[in-house]
Structure 1
Amino acid sequence: MRNNSKHFVIFITIVSFISCNNSSDRLSSISGKEINITDSIKGVDSLKKFIAPYREHIEEVLDAPLAYNPTYLNKNDGKLNSSIGNLMADVAYAESNPIFNKRTGKNIDFVLLNHGGIRAVMSKGNVSRRTAYEIMPFENQIWILELSADKIKELVAYLAKNKTAHPISKQAQLVLNANGTVKSFTVNGKPILESETYFVATSDFLANGGDHMDFFKDPISKTDINYLLRNELIDYFEKIDTIKAGIDNRFIKL
């Protein structure tokens, strides 16, 4: 508990019974008493002993090495794309697409996440489940949204205006001119076609308009694959030996 006392007010209700021809309960008065609860109250040793083995097991599971990261990764090491952001977007694609394809027979076109959702760096050394919890502490699910070409154009305009290193998977590339206008946007090397729709994987937070990504609202279709982004990271770490991530040209300004 914190040193600052937390105050709980216990209200004691005194009910007065007044006799009359038809007896009834009436509230006559309310009084209160303040009781200070501080960190001076000792814990129960027997409870601590009971919990200890479970806590130790959880710590062991969280810290067990899953993979190795050869270099320091963080979300601010690039201007428009970052090493850890690229890793997260590519992991989301790699783990989500097989499930989506099995359910629908279609493929995800690309992934877009948000820069602010990355909550920690990835240090050089062993990578564990704890690493995934630190990077992604939120219970964000991956959704795949089917968007029209017009919605994709809104997405591109948003990225160009904000000029923030929001994680984008390597299937997409956005190139800005020196003045910040859009030079090109391609998906798997091809420009956007008016007649096509596109499947974009993102978090449920963004799908509901988080970070003002309103272009995700009212999609043509939505597929919830019931997969936490954090769990995708853990599953990916378990499959590989050494993490490979870095800054590239998926979102750049000339």
Structure 2
Amino acid sequence: MKKYRLENRKGTWNYSAFAKAVVLATIFLVSCNQKEYHLQKVVGSKIAIDSSLTSVPEIEEYIAPFKKSLDVQMNEQLSYNPVSMYKSDYKLNTPIGNMMATIVRTQGAPVYKSRTGKSIDIVLLNNGGIRAGMPAGPVSMRSAYEIMPFDNEIVIAELTGDQVNELINYLIERKSAHPIDGLQILLNEDGTAASVLINDKPLDTNKVYHVATNDYLYNGGDNMSFFKDTPFTSIDYKIRNAMIDYFKKVDTLTFQRDHRFDYAH
């Protein structure tokens, strides 16, 4: 074995022996100083995301070109809304809710038909899913993101006549302006059902109905248990994207309150 020699003031060292001694000493010191560590506590803190946070100039400068390009896309006018619409406008059905239900049916039905050969009979969404109103004026992509900021997708569930009856009773009991389409419920003055029609026909308990909704409600959101374990089809179409596509092809929005869910006169 080739040996290397180190020179110092006191003479000559055998490097091989010296290296071995250093390694042994290191092992001895490490083994003698080993300690066991145990987690004593975990401390967390809450950081509020509000106006007290200041921007970082370097980050602002970096994202500025991307933000400018995105703002142009988000603010481009796609359609026009002549009258402001809000989900609190009326009690049982609202123009903005009717718009949402109509868009899901108009945009979703052709996709569902092409994939399954079947048609959508009913649309049911939830009033709470409408997260913003739509002021009168230009309608943009930003409008769609404000109304529907979530990535909820359109799904079509297959419900028996009895399950659709549960759906109808759910709406009657809650008397809320959940967006619906293809379904008309007229109430007596005491709140009981005076008339129920599905696409202008009475409920057929022997029929299977195809109900378009969103994935949140299908999975039991808002206590809509009538969807539980029913067959369904996802058409890979976000409600927000359906809104944007609809706005692009319609010059002016004309949605109004009607009698799809109302008191009989």
Q: TM-score, normalised by structure 2?
A: 0.81
The answer (yes or no) to whether the contact 1:18–1:24 under 8 Å persists in 2 is no
How many Å apart are 1:27 and its aligned residue? 2.6
Asked if 1:51 is matched to 2:63, the reply is yes
Q: 1:30 to 1:56 in 2, by over 3 A?
A: same
Matched, 1:141 2:153: yes
Q: Which has the higher helix share?
A: 2
**1:110 positional shift:** 1.2
The residue that corresponds to 1:150 in the other structure is 162
Q: Shift of the alpha carbon at 1:187? A: 1.1
Q: Deviations over 1:100-148 (max 9, x none)?
A: 0000111000100001111111100000010001101111111100000
Q: Tell me the alpha carbon deviations over residues 73-123 of structure 1, each in whole angstroms, 9 at most, x when there is no partner.
A: 111222210010000000110000000000011100010000111111110
Corresponding residue for residue 15 of structure 2: none
For residue 26 of structure 1, report the CA deviation from its aligned partner.
Answer: 2.7
Of the three residues 124, 132, 147, the one matched with 1:112 is 124
Task: Report what 2:260 is aligned to.
Answer: 250
- Distance in 1 (CA, whole Å) between partners of 2:174 and 2:42 is 53
Q: 1:223 aligns with which of 233, 238, 246?
A: 233
Give the letter aligned to residue 219 of structure 2. N
Q: Equivalent residue for 2:11? A: none
**Between 25-34 and 49-58, the greater mean CA deviation after superposition:** 25-34
What residue ranges of structure 1 are gaps of 5+ in the alignment? 1-16
Letter in 2 for 1:95: Q
Conserved? CA contact 1:18–1:25, under 8 Å? no
- The code of the aligned residue for 2:153 comes to Q
SS state at 1:189 partner: coil
Matching of residue 64 in structure 1 with residue 76 in structure 2: yes
The two structures have a TM-score, normalised by structure 1, of 0.84
Aligned residues: 235
| Residue number among 106, 117, 131 corresponding to 1:94 in the alignment | 106
Indicate the residue corresponding to 1:172 in structure 2: 183
What is the CA deviation profile of residues 167-206 of structure 1, one whole-angstrom value per residue up to 9, with x for unaligned ones?
A: 001x211111111111221111111112100000001110
Partner Cα separation in structure 2 for residue 247 and residue 40 of structure 1: 42
What residue number does 1:232 align with? 242
* Contact persistence 1:68–1:242 (CA under 8 A): yes
RMSD: 2.9
Q: CA 1:55/1:201 → structure 2, altered by over 3 Å: closer, same or farther? A: same
**Structure 2 runs not aligned, ≥5 long:** 1-26
Larger Rg: 2
- Tell me the distance in 2 between the aligned counterparts of 1:153 and 1:232: 28
- Partner AA of 1:183 in structure 2: A
Aligned to 1:198: 209
Measured after TM superposition, the shift of residue 45 of structure 1 is 3.8
Aligned-pair CA distance for 1:251? 0.5
